Amino acid sequence: MNFIFHKIKKSAIKNCRDIISLILILCIMGALTACGGKGSNYGLDKDRPREISIWYTFNSKRSAALEKMIEEFNSTEGKDRGIVVKCTSFDSDKKLRESFEETAAEDRPNMLGISSECPLLYDSNVKYVDINSLIAANVKETIDEEYINKGSLNNQWIMFPIVKDTEVLAADLGQWQPFMQEEEHYLGSLSSWESMAIVGEDYYAYSGKGILALRSEADYMLIGSHQLGTDILNVEGNSTIFRADGKVMKTLWDNYYVPMVKGAYYKYNQNSMTDLLEQRVAIASIRSSSVGELGTATATEGDAFVMGVYEILPYPQFKGAESICAVDDTGVAIIDKNEVENFASMLFLEWLSGSEVNLRFACMSGGLPINKLVSDMESLEKIIEKNTVPMSPLEISAMRVIMESLEDGRLYMPQLTPHYGELRKILAGCMSNEGINDHYDMEEKIYIGIKKKEAIEDYISDDHFSVFLDDLKKKFPES
């Protein structure tokens, strides 16, 4: 009898345990459904699409490309997943910020496509999603660590890259070729800043004009300091540290301020592209996405002297330093609104970063893809051969140049920090504003009979450089 009772008791306990286990499983499943786990698709329903929005300040070419990609997403992946993306473009970060601050919290966008300069990224009243918490592991593996590290703030990854502009040189062959034939300089000699300065002096002696207009002095300083081994901008923990290494800064000075004083470089318009199109210079550094503004023609050095025929060249490097491929500071941040819309926003960005989609988007935008699996010449040549994306011969040339620069160099992107925008304003014109004025002062001295070597000596002396360096350090923001 005791044996039978023991057996019944044991069976009852087992049944009770099974019931408790079943209840726990049902509770867990209910909790997951209630909070919207990834397994439940976060409540997205293709029959009841969820609308999400993105505001952005990209240039016209990337904006047009993004709008086309959004249309494609909405009719394909978005349709299948129950997501509709709406977009709004703004002329500047300032206008976007003003509109954002005037909009009620519930009506604000889910995503912001902006540069690292935009103060909204550092606004403590705006909460952003840590991309690490949402991104699929296999997608994250395709993103270069540089984008993850430099797009992070306070140990959270908040800026997701979608496509990247980089710097190139545009040479007006109509101005270059006569000089090339007479002075025996070739486009290959423009590959380093040191040789560019030498060629620029010869070009000034030949034509009376500067050879180069630089698009961004701030980028020259940030990229150059990084390549030369001591970044001006550094983030250590939660602190921003500014360093102006004397040797590095002297190299930057010698290869930009000094050539400008000598007349080798020139700056008239705010936009280097305008200086090139107005033929004030023979070469300009421009964004890769701006190449289409030059027209549709391309040529080689053997063609006739035709003004307005251009060749695209790599952005110069410093001799003896590791080659780098510098990219812009833009990306997309997801505003933390609710789990469903956060997840939907991440799905859209993941789709946009997919191999085939991202390479097409890059070609349409005139920039580099961010997906490592298609960041190579072989992938680019396939899309060119198939004519998947309509591009002019000049735009194709530019894409080949920047892809080769990426293959040959280490990726570099400026660090996300609240002081970034302020630093850029300090660096913009820090050499050229004085350099162009000093050039005209030197010319006046030569005009009244002072020899050039004597006239220029005070401007390019070590003492003058020391004054410049001390003044620059004093302007750096407080960490």
User: What are 298-336's pLDDT values in tens digits?
Assistant: 544 444 455 678 999 999 999 999 999 999 999 999 999
List the domain range (segments joined by +) for residue 318: 167-326+417-475
Those residues with Cβ within 8 angstroms of residue 16's Cβ, 6 or more apart along the chain or in another chain: none
Kindly report the length of the chain.
479
**What is the pLDDT averaged over residues 97-102?**
96
Instruction: Supply the pTM of this predicted model.
Output: 0.88
H or E segment at 362? helix 355-365
CA–CA distance, 153 with 122 (Å, rounded to integer): 9
Across the range 118-144, mean pLDDT stands at 96
Is 220 inside a domain boundary? Answer: yes
Residue 433 lies in a domain: yes
Q: Which of the four pLDDT bands, split at 50, 70 and 90, describes residue 238?
A: confident
What are the Cα distances from residue 382, in Å, to 73, 378, 379, 387? 23, 6, 5, 9
Query: Which residues have a Cβ under 8 Å from the Cβ of 390 and sit 6 or more positions away?
Result: none
pLDDT of residue 17: 55
Residue 18 has pLDDT above 90, yes or no: no
User: For the purposes of burial, counting CB atoms within 10 Å of the CB of 16, is it exposed (0-12), middle (13-18) or buried (19 or more)?
Assistant: exposed
pLDDT band at 3 (very low <50, low <70, confident <90, very high): very low
Is 284 in the same domain as 433?
A: yes
Question: Residues 307, 431: one domain?
Answer: yes
Count up the domains in the chain and report the number: 2
Burial 319-358 (b: 16+ CB within 10 A, else e): eeeeebbbbbbbbbbbbbbeebbbbbbbbbbbbbbbeebb
Q: What is the per-residue pLDDT for 453?
A: 87
Mark whether 90 and 150 lie in a shared domain.
yes
Instruction: Specify if 22 maps to a domain.
Output: no
Q: How distant, in Å, are the alpha carbons of 49, 216, 454 from that of 35?
A: 18, 47, 76
Chain mean position to CA 371: 14
217 and 313, same domain (yes or no): yes
One domain for residues 230 and 341: no
Decide if 261 is inside a domain: yes
* Total Cβ atoms within 10 A of residue 404: 15
Average pLDDT, the chain: 90
Look up tokens 């069976």; give the residue: 11
**How does pLDDT run across 43-93, given as a tens digit for each residue?**
899 999 999 999 999 999 999 999 999 999 999 999 999 999 999 999 999
The per-residue pLDDT for range 174-203, each reduced to its tens digit, is 999 999 999 888 999 999 999 999 999 999
Runs of H (alpha helix) within 166-214: 173-183, 193-207
Which residue's structure tokens are 């390549």? 227
* Claim to verify: residue 282 and residue 299 sit in the same structural domain: yes
Strand partners, 410: 324
Q: What is the pLDDT of residues 370-425, one digit of tens each?
A: 999 999 999 999 999 999 999 999 999 999 999 999 999 999 999 999 999 999 99
One domain, residues 106 and 197: no
More confident site: 399 or 39: 399
Report the distance separating Cα 197 and Cα 364, nearest Å. 34
List, in sequence order, every residue forming a beta bridge with 166; answer none if it has no partner: 327
CA distance 36 to 58: 33
Residue 304 pLDDT = 46
- Distance, CA of 282 to CA of 199 (rounded, Å): 12
**The two structure tokens encoding residue 66:** 């993004």
Same domain, 245 and 337: no
- Whole-number Å distance between alpha carbons of 222 and 233: 7
Is residue 128 located within the same domain as residue 264? no
Whether residue 114 sits in one domain with residue 51: yes
Q: What is the CATH number of the domain that holds 450?
A: 3.40.190.10
Among 264, 257, 260, CA closest to 224: 257
Task: Provide the strand spans (E) within 175-293.
Answer: 212-213, 233-236, 239-242, 283-287
pLDDT of residue 30: 43
Give the pLDDT score at 64.
95
pLDDT computed for residue 80 by the predictor: 95
Q: Which residues of 415-440 are buried (b: 16+ CB within 10 A; e: fewer)?
A: bbbebbbbbbebbeebbbebbbebbe
| Low-confidence winner among 22-26, 75-79, 102-106 (lowest mean pLDDT) | 22-26
Claim to verify: residue 64 and residue 150 sit in the same structural domain: yes
Evaluate whether 296 touches 394 at the Cβ level (below 8 Å): yes
Residue 38's pLDDT is: 45
Is 24 within the bounds of a domain? Answer: no
What count of Cα atoms within 13 Å lies in the side-chain half-sphere of residue 118? 27
pLDDT digits (tens, 9 = 90+) for 262-293: 999 998 888 999 999 999 999 999 999 999 99
The percent of residues above 90 in pLDDT, for the chain, comes to 82
How far apart CA 109 and CA 102 sit, in angstroms, is 12
Q: Are the CB atoms for 283 and 275 separated by under 8 Å?
A: no
Predicted local confidence at residue 307, as pLDDT = 60
* Cα 197 from Cα 262, distance rounded (Å): 10
